[in-house]
């Protein structure tokens, strides 16, 4: 069943939230903006979309936006404690690109949590962390 079919089968279709069709942008709250910015721009080579302020930076990822922000930009939340991942982001590529991404991460000095691995659920996965400790995955359907 596709996500669209699930939404259509949902008993909550009368909700105004049923109009949501996609995630437009994702915000990652950061502890160290400088190291996070260097990682996402220099290591992952994400294209800078715009910098609204030193506390809010956006990258274009396909049709989506990934924003790095200090928590005080939108809310007064305290920074996430060191050693606590706030999220996992998964980036889809082709199977050959999973291995190429692993090679590039190693070349850039990024520690892999797991090397490219064929999973029994039909994905080839690669896991690593960004400078704030968030879990990142590069995967392909195989």
- Per-residue pLDDT band at 17 (split at 50, 70, 90): confident
Residue with tokens 């979309």: 49
What predicted TM-score, i.e. pTM, was given to this entire model?
0.79
Question: Same domain for 89 and 73?
Answer: no
Q: Between the ranges 15-24, 78-87, 103-112, where is the mean pLDDT highest?
A: 103-112
- 3-class DSSP state of 69: strand
**Residue range of the domain that includes 123:** 81-142
Report the number of distinct structural domains present in the chain: 2
Question: Same domain for 72 and 98?
Answer: no
Question: Same domain for 88 and 142?
Answer: yes
Alpha carbons 32 and 117: distance in angstroms, whole number? 30
Question: Same domain for 45 and 62?
Answer: yes
């Amino acid at each position: 069943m596709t996500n669209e079919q699930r939404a259509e089968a949902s008993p909550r279709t009368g909700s105004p939230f049923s109009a949501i069709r996609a995630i437009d942008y994702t915000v990652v709250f950061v502890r160290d903006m400088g190291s996070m910015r260097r990682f996402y721009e220099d290591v992952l080579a994400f294209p800078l979309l715009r910098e609204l302020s030193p506390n809010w930076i956006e990258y274009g990822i396909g049709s989506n936006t990934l924003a790095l922000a200090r928590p005080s930009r939108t809310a007064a939340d305290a920074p996430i404690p060191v050693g606590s991942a706030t999220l996992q982001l998964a980036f889809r590529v082709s199977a050959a690109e999973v291995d190429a991404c692993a090679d590039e991460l190693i070349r850039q000095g990024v520690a892999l949590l797991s090397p490219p691995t064929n999973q029994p659920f039909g994905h080839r996965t690669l896991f690593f962390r960004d400078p704030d400790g968030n879990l990142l995955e590069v995967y392909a359907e195989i």
